[in-house]
Amino acid sequence: MYPAAFDYVAPRTVDETLAILADRGEDVKILAGGQSLIPLMKLRLAMPKKLVDINRVPGLDTVGVADGHLTVGALTRHNDMVHSEVVAAENHTMAAAAPWISDPLVRNLGTVGGSLAHSDPQGDWGSVMLACGAEMVARTTRGQRTIPVGEFFVDLFTSALEPDELLTEIHVPRYQGPAGGTYLKLERKVGDYATVGVAVHLQLDAGRQRIEQAGIALTAVGPKNIKAVDAEQALVGQVPGDDLFAEAAELAAAAAEPRTDVRGSADYKRSVVSTFVRRGLSRAAEQAGRA
Ligand SMILES: Cc1cc2nc3c(=O)[nH]c(=O)nc-3n(C[C@H](O)[C@H](O)[C@H](O)COP(=O)(O)OP(=O)(O)OC[C@H]3O[C@@H](n4cnc5c(N)ncnc54)[C@H](O)[C@@H]3O)c2cc1C
């Protein structure tokens, strides 16, 4: 099916983009990689009056380190995350997740910011950002605000972004001590959305004795990406070990809200969450230097 008719504009600066968004509000949609928006428009589930294509706006696709953060521009392609030396050196969870996003075609076009703004509970980056405690930086003509990731995912396909807000970058805290993390994903075939995904982040104290920070988040087992808060809290201050990880895995499974569908039964998905959390925590502890 063809999309409904729409106007198209391709601004060259962030300020120009923000002015267009301010002018047209809810009638406008930002076009990034188009990997989610275009299919929705073809199905006429989205019928924006105007598309603002941000692909020609410079400066939105850089990955770097600044002020204690790993900074990821919203327009950074999934594939650039796969090949980023900065990501590989800085964050185990992000580096592990990037190659799991869909297939090479989607990875070449789709963007990290587009994925987060789309707020699909099957989106892999959402869980990574929840586990790592990221912050979203958004701009309008009125100014800039920073949204903690815990407040960013509001509901199914609904983020905290206002219609006139441009997500410009994502800040992920740098490790402050020995740390590890990973992303585990079960998919029916290569390139598919997750049946279940689990993002894990662990940081130990300087002596590698106890857990200082824990992040666990779940993909595709609820109406939005889920932060397994009880599981995280059970880990903090404790000595890493198999029994502790098994306890956290059960708490994370209890936080999941899976539904039975073509990808598997709710019970099966819950059991995969538990297995992945246990496995992910062991791997993260090992990376942090605590086998
Ligand atoms: C076949 C297929 C398989 C896929 N598999 C996976 C998968 O396994 N895992 C996964 O995580 N994803 C998967 N995806 C989704 C993919 O990751 C998309 O790239 C992503 O969902 C949207 O990013 P985009 O850049 O294409 O955004 P677009 O489609 O351009 O936009 C999506 C939404 O975000 C808004 N938006 C985009 N950028 C901004 C911004 N900077 N500020 C504010 N709003 C913005 C748009 O207005 C729109 O509402 C798949 C997609 C396809 C087509």
Residues 176 and 149: their CA atoms lie apart, in Å, by 19
Pocket of ligand 1 (CB under 6 A): 29-37, 74, 101-102, 106, 110-111, 113-115, 117-118, 120, 123-125, 161, 166-167, 193
Residues 88 and 123 in one domain: yes
Question: For residue 219, what is the domain's CATH number?
Answer: 3.30.390.50
Q: What is the pLDDT of residue 291?
A: 47
Ligand 1 centre to CA of 213 (Å) is 29
Ligand 1 centroid to Cα of residue 160, in Å, is 16
Q: Is residue 234 part of a domain?
A: yes
Give the nearest ligand 1 atom to 125 CA.
Answer: 11
Residue 217 parent element (H or E): strand 211-219
* Whether residues 155 and 203 fall in one domain: no
Whether 109 and 190 share a structural domain: no
20 contacts 8 by C-beta, under 8 angstroms: no
- Do 169 and 186 lie in a common domain? no
Choose the residue to mutate in 29, 72, 115, 219 for probing ligand 1, maximizing ligand atoms within 8 Å of C-beta: 115
Look-up: residue for tokens 């972004």? 161
**Confidence (pLDDT) at 164:** 94
Domain with residue 138: its CATH number is: 3.30.465.10
Q: Are 22 and 30 in contact (CB under 8 A)?
A: no
168/251 same-domain check: no
Calculate how far, in angstroms, residue 55's C-alpha sits from the geometric centre of ligand 1.
Answer: 13
Domain boundary among 173, 193, 222: 173
CATH of the domain at 18: 3.30.43.10
268 alpha carbon to ligand 1 midpoint, in Å?
27
- Does residue 165 contact residue 140 with C-beta atoms inside 8 Å? yes
- Where would I find the beta strands (DSSP E) of the chain? 7-9, 28-31, 50-53, 63-66, 69-73, 135-140, 143-148, 153-155, 158-159, 166-173, 179-186, 196-204, 211-219, 226-227
Residue 233 lies in a domain: yes
Instruction: Give first-to-last CA distance, the chain, whole Å.
Output: 54
Atom of ligand 1 nearest to the CA of 100: 8
Domain stop point among 156, 173, 190: 173
Domain contains 259:
yes
Same domain, 67 and 126: yes
143 Cα to the center of ligand 1, angstroms: 25
Residue 117 CA, closest ligand 1 atom number: 34
End of a domain among 115, 146, 173? Answer: 173
Q: Which domain holds residue 213?
A: 179-287
In this structure, are 68 and 165 located in the same domain?
yes
In this structure, are 194 and 252 located in the same domain? yes
Per-residue pLDDT of 181-202, as tens digits, reads 999 999 999 889 999 999 999 9
Residue 140 CB neighbours (<10 A): 16
- Cα-to-centroid distance, 34 and ligand 1 (Å): 6
Whether 184 and 205 map to the same domain: the answer is yes
Residues 29 and 90 placed together within one structural domain of the fold: no
254 occurs within a structural domain: yes
How many domains does the chain fold into? 3
At 31-73, the pLDDT tens digits run 999 999 999 999 999 999 999 999 999 999 999 999 899 999 9
Q: Is residue 92 part of a domain?
A: yes
Report if residue 2 sits inside a domain: no
pLDDT computed for residue 101 by the predictor: 96
**Do residue 151 and residue 224 come from a single domain?**
no
* 45 assigned to some structural domain: yes
**Residue 165 alpha carbon, nearest atom of ligand 1:** 43
Q: Is residue 1 part of a domain?
A: no
166/203 same-domain check: no
Q: Which residues of the chain have pLDDT under 70?
A: 25-26, 290-291
